[in-house]
């Protein structure tokens, strides 16, 4: 038609060209105007396991009177702990004033918190000539649970003389009669020595006084997540192994009724964030936190961050869990019993300063190499 317009004598090809350009412009205009009427909502299974398919869905809602015949959904699944990223894009037709559900399937070989995100919607105009995209950012999260492995942990006394414990667990009772945990009615099986006779006489029914459970702040686990300048990020397998080691160690200490703190440098503020664990409830909260800790770039590691944020000497046993041997372990209190657990692809454990015990493991052998573990 362009040739006919230039070399021909009829104006009809020119009119057709103008009509075609007008139709394309109207198609592009309508698709851009009504693109804002399409919204996306993401959903994903809340809990999954390693190497199991994790299904996410995206619900597209079109509030306009016009359909979208060619609409793409660009989705991403990111494991926050290991840094794994998987991207997929599917194309769907969305009817006017209707909904369309698209399914995505992902899997991860390692534990962690998975964030399923709709990154963008890709539109084509009604004639399929132009394509444009709109960022979305709708997301949903799921936990890929770690595979806990057994640990035979022995806590070595460091010789630090600590004051008598004056803190008690607010979550469960214990055997320290110096502090009352709760007052409740008698239940079959309760020992008679727990009967509160004064309140029993007052209320004319058997009343039990539950003793408190002392907590001990002697163990600190430093979970290193910082990549220093010149350093390389750890492989996904190493990150996953470190997460499972941290979780399994905390679970074992919880079972042994040893109150402990697990801490790392926060990705948001760069400050040290310590998470105290003294019950099964607080351990479950820690589990979610550990699985979502991403590596971050920084100029100081967790040892420096901890010494800046916390007064040293609160812990008699310190465990440093990382993929690279630290050079500043000497900053930690010299009176503390220090243990370094290094996980690397080759399992090479470089020498560490500060008179620390070293365990060098790999993503393949950490379950056996850390049994038994003396901290």
Mean of pLDDT values over 249-254: 94
pLDDT in tens, 206-225: 888 887 755 445 799 999 99
**Confidence (pLDDT) at 163:** 40
Verify that 177 and 267 share a domain, yes or no: no
Q: CATH number of the domain at 302, please.
A: 3.40.50
pLDDT in tens, 316-344: 889 999 999 888 888 888 878 899 999 99
Whether residue 132 is contained in a domain is answered as: yes
**Confidence (pLDDT) at 146:** 94
**Confidence (pLDDT) at 354:** 54
Domain of 252? Answer: 153-161+216-374
Residue 168 has pLDDT above 60, yes or no: no
Verify that 87 and 236 share a domain, yes or no: no
Whether residue 364 is contained in a domain is answered as: yes
Whether residue 166 is contained in a domain is answered as: no
**Confidence (pLDDT) at 161:** 40
* Of 54-68, 144-158, 349-363, the least confident: 349-363
Verify that 300 and 187 share a domain, yes or no: no
Verify that 246 and 297 share a domain, yes or no: yes
Whether residue 58 is contained in a domain is answered as: yes
Whether residue 360 is contained in a domain is answered as: yes
Give the residue with greater pLDDT, 88 vs 355: 88
Verify that 341 and 202 share a domain, yes or no: no
**How does residue 160 score in pLDDT terms, banded at 50, 70 and 90?**
very low
**Confidence (pLDDT) at 335:** 76
pLDDT in tens, 305-318: 998 876 655 688 89
Verify that 179 and 266 share a domain, yes or no: no
Verify that 182 and 257 share a domain, yes or no: no
pLDDT in tens, 18-47: 888 898 888 888 888 788 889 999 999 999
**Confidence (pLDDT) at 215:** 47
Q: CATH number of the domain at 124, please.
A: 2.60.40.10
**How does residue 159 score in pLDDT terms, banded at 50, 70 and 90?**
very low
Taking all residues of the chain, what is their mean pLDDT, rounded to a whole number?
85
Verify that 322 and 202 share a domain, yes or no: no
Whether residue 66 is contained in a domain is answered as: yes
pLDDT in tens, 104-147: 999 899 999 999 999 999 988 878 788 888 899 899 999 999 99
Verify that 207 and 237 share a domain, yes or no: no
**How does residue 350 score in pLDDT terms, banded at 50, 70 and 90?**
low
Mean of pLDDT values over 362-367: 94
Mean of pLDDT values over 250-259: 92
**Confidence (pLDDT) at 171:** 47
Verify that 315 and 367 share a domain, yes or no: yes
> Could you give the number of structural domains in the chain?
3
Residue 201 has pLDDT above 90, yes or no: no
- How would you write the chain as a 3-class SS string? CHHHHHHCCCCHHHHHHHHHHHHHHHHHHHHHHHHCCEEEEEEECCEEECCCCEEEEEEEEECCCCCEEEEEEEEEEEECCCCCEEEEEEEEEECCCEEEEEEEEECCCCCEEEEEEEEEEEEECCCCCCEEEEEEEEEEEEEEECCCCCCCEECCCCCCCCCCCCCEEEEEEEEEEEEEEEEEECCCCCCHHHECHHHHHHHCCCEEEEEEEECCCCEEEEECCEECCCCCCCCHHHHHHHHHHHHHHHHHHHHCCCCEEEEEECCCCCCEEEEEECCHHHHHHHHHHHCCCCCEECCCCHHHHHHHHCCCCCCCEEEEEECCCCCCHHHCCCCCEEEEEEECCCCCCCCCCCCCEEEEECCCCHHHHCCCEEC
Verify that 25 and 113 share a domain, yes or no: yes
**How does residue 237 score in pLDDT terms, banded at 50, 70 and 90?**
very high
Whether residue 167 is contained in a domain is answered as: no
Verify that 182 and 245 share a domain, yes or no: no
Whether residue 86 is contained in a domain is answered as: yes
**Confidence (pLDDT) at 176:** 64
């Amino acid at each position: 038609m362009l040739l006919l317009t230039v070399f021909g004598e009829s104006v009809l090809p020119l009119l057709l060209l103008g009509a075609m350009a007008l139709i394309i412009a109207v198609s592009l205009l309508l698709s851009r105007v009504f693109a804002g009427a399409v919204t996306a909502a993401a959903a994903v299974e809340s809990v999954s396991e390693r190497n199991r398919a994790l299904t996410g869905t995206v619900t597209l809602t079109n509030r306009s009177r016009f359909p979208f015949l060619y609409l793409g959904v660009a989705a991403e699944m990111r494991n926050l702990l290991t840094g794994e990223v998987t991207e997929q894009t599917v194309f769907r037709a969305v009817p006017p004033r209707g909904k369309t559900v698209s399914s995505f399937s992902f899997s991860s070989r390692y534990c962690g918190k998975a964030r399923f995100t709709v990154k963008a919607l890709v539109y084509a105009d009604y004639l399929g000539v132009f394509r444009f995209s709109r960022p979305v950012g709708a997301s949903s999260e799921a936990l890929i649970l770690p595979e806990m492995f057994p640990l035979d942990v022995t806590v070595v006394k460091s010789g630090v003389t600590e004051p008598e414990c004056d803190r008690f667990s607010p979550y469960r009772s214990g055997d320290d009669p110096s502090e009352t945990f709760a007052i409740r009615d008698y239940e079959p099986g309760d020992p008679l020595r727990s009967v509160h006779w004064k309140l029993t006489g007052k209320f004319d029914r058997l009343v039990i006084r539950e003793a408190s459970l002392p907590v001990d702040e002697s163990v600190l686990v430093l979970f290193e997540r910082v990549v220093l300048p010149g350093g390389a990020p750890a492989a996904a397998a190493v990150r996953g192994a470190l997460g499972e080691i941290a979780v399994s160690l905390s679970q074992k200490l919880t079972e042994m009724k040893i109150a402990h703190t697990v801490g790392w440098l926060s990705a948001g503020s760069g400050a040290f964030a310590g998470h105290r664990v003294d019950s099964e409830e607080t351990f479950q909260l820690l589990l979610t936190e550990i699985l979502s800790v991403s590596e971050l770039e920084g100029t100081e590691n967790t040892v420096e961050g901890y010494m800046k944020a916390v007064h040293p000497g609160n812990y008699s046993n310190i465990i440093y869990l990382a993929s690279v041997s630290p050079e500043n372990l000497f900053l930690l209190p010299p009176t503390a019993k220090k243990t370094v657990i290094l996980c690397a692809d080759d399992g090479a454990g470089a020498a560490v300063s500060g008179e620390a015990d070293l365990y060098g493991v790999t993503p393949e052998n950490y379950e056996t190499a850390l049994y038994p573990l003396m901290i």
